[in-house]
Amino acid sequence: MQSINSNEEETLRVRKLEITDKSKGFIELLQQLTICDSVSDNDFQERFQELSAYGDNHVICVIEDDSSRKIIATGSVFIEKKFIRNCGKVGHIEDVVVDSSARGKQLGKKIVGFLMDHACSMGCYKVILDCSVENRAFYEKCGFKEKEVKMVKYFI
Amino acid sequence: MQSINSNEEETLRVRKLEITDKSKGFIELLQQLTICDSVSDNDFQERFQELSAYGDNHVICVIEDDSSRKIIATGSVFIEKKFIRNCGKVGHIEDVVVDSSARGKQLGKKIVGFLMDHACSMGCYKVILDCSVENRAFYEKCGFKEKEVKMVKYFI
């Protein structure tokens, strides 16, 4: 990936995912996070439309490097509507990743800050996420605290 | 709450939440889980309709005691659609609670089993949840394993 130019502070803004971002390395960026096979254009467009239908209740944001035209950071948040907490809402942050060549530039903080602000503006009473032990300190810097236990069951 | 009759095995089946369940103690049951103020009929109906619009992507299930006509167990699962894992899906289990007078009857296992089956049938590659340290053993019996770290930030 091309190095980031010196005006990066001005150009590295967070915006919502656009349908053209597949051609800018969005899927390859997710592959740095976990298992993410190559996605066909049709599958991408179909999933993009499905998520768009949720509007502000499911937002994926990205940072694009304007010099390389590559997506170098991303994260998502979806809003769960509940009956508890006076019909409250909870923001779930998922799939946060920063390109390996662009780390140390506070892009992760920008992404998480954007997602937290969105959840807050949607009226959520809290925002939650799961992370590895290695990333705990990062999220503590973002204002999170460890709580309870995360459990998982894989079907495949 | 009235005691459960001897035919409970036949009558205690899991079904989806119905709009009439508010009058059967559904909100009072949630109050055993966490902060859950009394909810007006209008607020309940509005939230019920919002969640119903998600169809199979957000399911709340309950167990009704046919003798007392009270809701004595509940849980929910919503399906998150992702780009990772070949445009995979993840089931998020939330707000599982069994009435304090009906514990020890495997109702929690029935609820969680129903939610897991639903997530599996929707094509999820995994199902996840957060729980207290005290409930970890219960979810291990349901087939879950502890993984990673749960982080939270409260806005209010």
pTM > 0.90: yes
Q: Which chain A positions have a beta carbon within 8 Å of B58's beta carbon?
A: 81
The pLDDT value given to residue A10: 58
The pLDDT value given to residue B113: 97
Q: Is residue A146 part of a domain?
A: no
CA distances in angstroms from A126 to A16, A92, B26, B81, listed in the order given: 21, 9, 23, 21
Residue B115 phi, psi (nearest 5): -70, -40
pLDDT in tens, B50-100: 999 999 999 999 999 999 999 999 999 999 999 999 899 999 999 999 999
Provide the ipTM: 0.90
Q: Which two tokens stand for residue A152?
A: 């998982």
Q: How many whole angstroms separate alpha carbon A53 and alpha carbon A45?
A: 12
pLDDT in tens, B60-69: 999 999 999 9
Total domains in chain B come to 1
Average predicted confidence (pLDDT) for chain B: 92
pLDDT in tens, B104-128: 899 999 999 999 999 999 999 999 9
* CB nearest to B151's CB, from A37, A85, A129: A129
* CB nearest to B39's CB, from A46, A86, A156: A86
Q: Is residue A89 part of a domain?
A: yes
Q: Do A148 and B139 touch (CB under 8 A)?
A: no
The pLDDT value given to residue B10: 58
Q: Is residue A37 part of a domain?
A: yes
Can you spell out the DSSP letters for chain A?
Answer: -PPP-TTHHHH--EEE--GGGGGGTHHHHHTTTS------HHHHHHHHHHHHTTGGGEEEEEEEETTTTEEEEEEEEEEEE-SHHHH-EEEEEEEEEE-GGGTTSSHHHHHHHHHHHHHHHTT-SEEEEEE-GGGHHHHHHTT-EE-SEEEEEE--
Q: Is residue A87 part of a domain?
A: yes
Q: Which residues pair with A14 in a beta bridge?
A: A63
Q: Is residue A149 part of a domain?
A: no
Q: Which domain holds residue A89?
A: 2-141
Query: Which CATH number goes with the domain that contains A14?
Result: 3.40.630.30
Are the C-beta atoms of residues B53 and A2 closer than 8 Å to each other? no
Q: Do B151 and A132 touch (CB under 8 A)?
A: no
| Nearest C-alpha neighbor of B32 from the set B74, B62, B83 | B74
What does the longest C-alpha to C-alpha distance in chain A come to?
49
Q: Is residue B148 part of a domain?
A: no
Cα B65 to its chain centre, rounded Å, is 16
Q: Is residue A136 part of a domain?
A: yes
Distance from CA of A68 to the nearest CA of B (A): 23
Q: Which chain B positions have a beta carbon within 8 Å of A45's beta carbon?
A: none
Are the C-beta atoms of residues A119 and A58 closer than 8 Å to each other? no
Q: Is residue B151 part of a domain?
A: no
